[in-house]
Structure 1
Amino acid sequence: MNASAIFNYYALISQHLWAQVLVTVAFYILITVLIEFVVNRVIKRVCATTNTTIDDTLIDFLHTPIYQTVILVGIMHIVMLVDLTPLATQITVKLARSGICLVWLITALKIINFLSTALTAWRQKLGPDLFSLVHKITFLILVFAAVATLFWIWNINLTPVFASAGVAGIAIALAAKDTLANFFGGISLFLDKVYRVGDYVIIDNNERGEVVEIGIRSTRIITRDDVLINIPNSIMATSKIVNESAPYPQYRIKVPVGVAYGTDLERTEAILLDLAGQSDTIVANPFPRVRVRTLADSSVNLELLVWVEDPRDRGIQTHLLLKQIHKRFAEEGIHIPFPQLDVHLAKEKE
């Protein structure tokens, strides 16, 4: 077939609208067949040779949106060929473009959610908190970009809206003051790395609990009473925070013990250290120790210092140690005194 014959076919097709539509449909069907061939025969085979399944999942995510995009582009092309009114053509084209924008927005969000769970190495490298912040900011950027694209497609100019907002804009800014304070407070907490998810913290010497979620707006803490507390990040950023899980995960427990005067303190210390050494939840390094704190009115007050792996074990371990100390002292004949007062009555001389 020479160039002259091709030109004659083109001239014949251009004279008939239905022929142009059929050729356009055939063209886009050919494109989909080629895409199917390249994806199944080339790209998937290459992905199968890799050591990860992430690329295979990404191909599955992109497979359907590519087809949908080809179909929507074909619809735009056919609408431009068909003799419709300018308004109908314009609306149809804008709807198709909006559909393409929404298809790829949904696809991008799915990919972001998948990568946030699949990239465990990056999560460990950046830390779960910073990784979560990056994920949420990326989500907001994608949504904002999609909304801006839709405004551009439909020729919506927001400048007059913002210019005419006036007092309403100031009111909105004042209303969003706390939201912005919480957002930037969350950014400062992430950058300063004050705490992480899983840490035990004390807020202003009042609330104590485990950090279960650090969001853009607030931080959630669950107490030992299984009460969930939601604290705005602006408050967290300006509060005194004691992180019991940092810089080391071990937490020190102080167990006060009182013995009677006349008790062999060396023997008492050995007994306390022996009890600490028998517990499986008490760490060996730092090693347990006993310190004499005060010579009180009725007793010699000592303190057993031990470390546990997790701050959440503080209560139960203190409970177990006190029970074991009470039992062992009773077996060893070590007296635990209690405050008492002797009153001597003097007899008056006759």
Structure 2
Amino acid sequence: MRVVAEFVETLKQLFENPYLLAVGLLAGSILAAWLVELVIARTLVAAAARTKTDVDDAIVEILRRPVFLSIVFFGLDQAAKKLPLAENFAHPIDAALETIVIIIWSMAVVRVGNVLLQSLSARSRPRSVLQPTTLPVFDIFLKTMVTGAALYFVFLAWKIDLTAWLASAGIIGVAVGFAAKDTLANLFSGIFIIADGSYKVKDWIVLDNELRGEVTRIGIRSTRILTPDDVEINVPNAVIGNAQLINESGGPYPRQRVRILASVAYGSDVDKAREVLLSVTEDAPHILAHPAPAARFMAMGDSGLHFELWVWINEPAMREQVIDDLTTRVYKALNAARIEIPFPKHDVYIRQMPGAMPVPRQPPPG
């Protein structure tokens, strides 16, 4: 009995030691988090793997880490409260840990929301509100709502009275409006761009007849454009909203016309030149049969006769490749047909060769 009593007394002393108790609570929370992770892996992950869809697999995978970290931070909070040094810092420690947990779960909610939105948009009907083209709008609203809710709970964690903030919301709103006018302009421009439907993801657009590329993402602040050089450029939405935009993928049909410029020398047979230009389109890749290719005599220039070969393509990404292929075919065909390709010529008249004696001027008559 004496041994048991000594053992109980030793345990009592150990539990009365705040540092050992804090370490025990932290170790217990890590163990509990590991057990919960094991249960999730054996039950939820296995159940999600047996379903036909991948949505539940993605959601379970997203929520595993926040659950694990939440249990660990809860144990860390309880362990911090047992330390004597934490008496004066109990509230800041609690608020800091709660803030971290709020951020972790906010990010998880955004990721889960994105998975659900993408799944619903992929299975949407023609008249559904949620479409792949309107997906960025719902994504923006989701992130805005989650961010607002997260800020609200962070204020509550730090015990900040929101009444005074709401009372001075007008002044703060004006100050924030001036300080973040560019950010707000990009935000509203992004909403208007998506609402107007001027372009969507996977469209090929041209900005101010300079920047051309494929839209890869429409975000809250900017739009990502992948150029033909495989360079991704982030363009602020406010810049796109104020720019002249050409949507090559828009309109009733996705096709677009490509012009190939060609010139022949004066004196060439115009009809034969037109036939040669049309002949290069036979068996050319990426060219549509309807509308049919056309050759147009456009102008009589300073050095030659200017023609344009018009063809239609269905994929804007093939524009540069088609231009290269047809330009090569036109050059070879004109040479094969012995049609001269002109180039600028200038006649130079030399009044006096260098080193020659100057020609004396004749006096005027009378």
TM range (shorter): 0.5 to 0.7
For 1:173 and 1:107, the matched residues in 2 are separated by 29
User: SS of the counterpart of 1:291?
Assistant: strand
Q: 2:184 aligns with which of 180, 185, 188?
A: 180
**Residue in structure 2 matched with residue 344 of structure 1 by the alignment:** none
For 1:264 and 1:80, the matched residues in 2 are separated by 93
User: SS of the counterpart of 2:281?
Assistant: helix
How far apart are 1:292 and its partner, in Å?
A: 3.7
Superposed counterparts of 1:309-320, under 5 Å: 309-320=314-325
Question: Does the CA contact (< 8 Å) of 2:287 and 2:312 recur in 1?
Answer: yes
- 1:196 is aligned to 2:200: yes
Structure 2 vs 1, CA of residues 78 and 272 (structure 1 numbering), >3 Å: closer, same or farther?
closer
Q: 1:146 aligns with which of 137, 140, 150?
A: 150
Q: What are the Cα deviations for residues 256-302 of structure 1, in whole angstroms up to 9, with x where unaligned?
A: 4445557261x444432221113223233332122344567886654
**Residue in structure 1 matched with residue 312 of structure 2 by the alignment:** 307
Q: How many residues align?
A: 315
User: SS of the counterpart of 2:249?
Assistant: coil
**Residue in structure 2 matched with residue 214 of structure 1 by the alignment:** 218
Greater CA drift, 128-137 or 244-253: 128-137
- 1:291 is aligned to 2:296: yes
CA RMSD of superposed structures (Å): 4.9
Structure 2 vs 1, CA of residues 271 and 223 (structure 1 numbering), >3 Å: closer, same or farther?
same
Question: Does the CA contact (< 8 Å) of 1:129 and 1:196 recur in 2?
Answer: yes
Question: Does the CA contact (< 8 Å) of 1:200 and 1:243 recur in 2?
Answer: yes
Structure 2 vs 1, CA of residues 163 and 120 (structure 1 numbering), >3 Å: closer, same or farther?
closer
Greater CA drift, 179-188 or 53-62: 53-62
How far apart are 1:100 and its partner, in Å?
A: 4.8
User: SS of the counterpart of 2:329?
Assistant: helix
How far apart are 1:187 and its partner, in Å?
A: 0.7
Query: Could you say which structure has the higher helix fraction?
Result: 1
**Residue in structure 1 matched with residue 332 of structure 2 by the alignment:** 327
Question: Does the CA contact (< 8 Å) of 1:200 and 1:208 recur in 2?
Answer: no
For 1:70 and 1:194, the matched residues in 2 are separated by 47
- 1:236 is aligned to 2:235: no
User: SS of the counterpart of 2:280?
Assistant: helix
For 2:282 and 2:200, the matched residues in 1 are separated by 31
User: SS of the counterpart of 2:279?
Assistant: helix
How far apart are 1:331 and its partner, in Å?
A: 2.2
Question: Does the CA contact (< 8 Å) of 1:61 and 1:107 recur in 2?
Answer: yes
Greater CA drift, 237-246 or 319-328: 319-328
For 2:119 and 2:135, the matched residues in 1 are separated by 10
Consecutive unaligned residues of structure 2, counting only runs of 5 or more, are 1-14, 16-24, 125-129, 347-366
Structure 2 vs 1, CA of residues 270 and 138 (structure 1 numbering), >3 Å: closer, same or farther?
same
The one-letter amino acid paired with 1:122 is S
**Residue in structure 1 matched with residue 352 of structure 2 by the alignment:** none
Q: 2:278 aligns with which of 273, 278, 288?
A: 273
For 2:37 and 2:320, the matched residues in 1 are separated by 62
The one-letter amino acid paired with 1:210 is G
Question: Does the CA contact (< 8 Å) of 2:118 and 2:135 recur in 1?
Answer: no
How far apart are 1:209 and its partner, in Å?
A: 1.2
For 1:87 and 1:168, the matched residues in 2 are separated by 33
The one-letter amino acid paired with 2:182 is D
Q: What are the Cα deviations for residues 3-47 of structure 1, in whole angstroms up to 9, with x where unaligned?
A: xxxxxxxxxxxxxxx9xxxxxx9xx99x98997897566545543
For 1:315 and 1:289, the matched residues in 2 are separated by 19
- 1:263 is aligned to 2:269: yes
Question: Does the CA contact (< 8 Å) of 1:292 and 1:302 recur in 2?
Answer: yes
Q: What are the Cα deviations for residues 90-120 of structure 1, in whole angstroms up to 9, with x where unaligned?
A: 777666655653443343245356x28x946
For 1:229 and 1:74, the matched residues in 2 are separated by 45
For 2:345 and 2:78, the matched residues in 1 are separated by 99
Identical columns (%): 31
For 1:86 and 1:340, the matched residues in 2 are separated by 92
The one-letter amino acid paired with 2:51 is T
The one-letter amino acid paired with 1:104 is W
Question: Does the CA contact (< 8 Å) of 1:253 and 1:318 recur in 2?
Answer: yes
Structure 2 vs 1, CA of residues 124 and 181 (structure 1 numbering), >3 Å: closer, same or farther?
farther
Question: Does the CA contact (< 8 Å) of 1:283 and 1:308 recur in 2?
Answer: yes
For 1:45 and 1:319, the matched residues in 2 are separated by 54
**Residue in structure 2 matched with residue 47 of structure 1 by the alignment:** 48
User: SS of the counterpart of 2:309?
Assistant: strand
How far apart are 1:189 and its partner, in Å?
A: 0.7
The one-letter amino acid paired with 2:311 is V
How far apart are 1:156 and its partner, in Å?
A: 0.6
**Residue in structure 2 matched with residue 58 of structure 1 by the alignment:** 59
Structure 2 vs 1, CA of residues 218 and 48 (structure 1 numbering), >3 Å: closer, same or farther?
closer
How far apart are 1:188 and its partner, in Å?
A: 0.8
User: SS of the counterpart of 2:139?
Assistant: helix
For 2:46 and 2:319, the matched residues in 1 are separated by 55
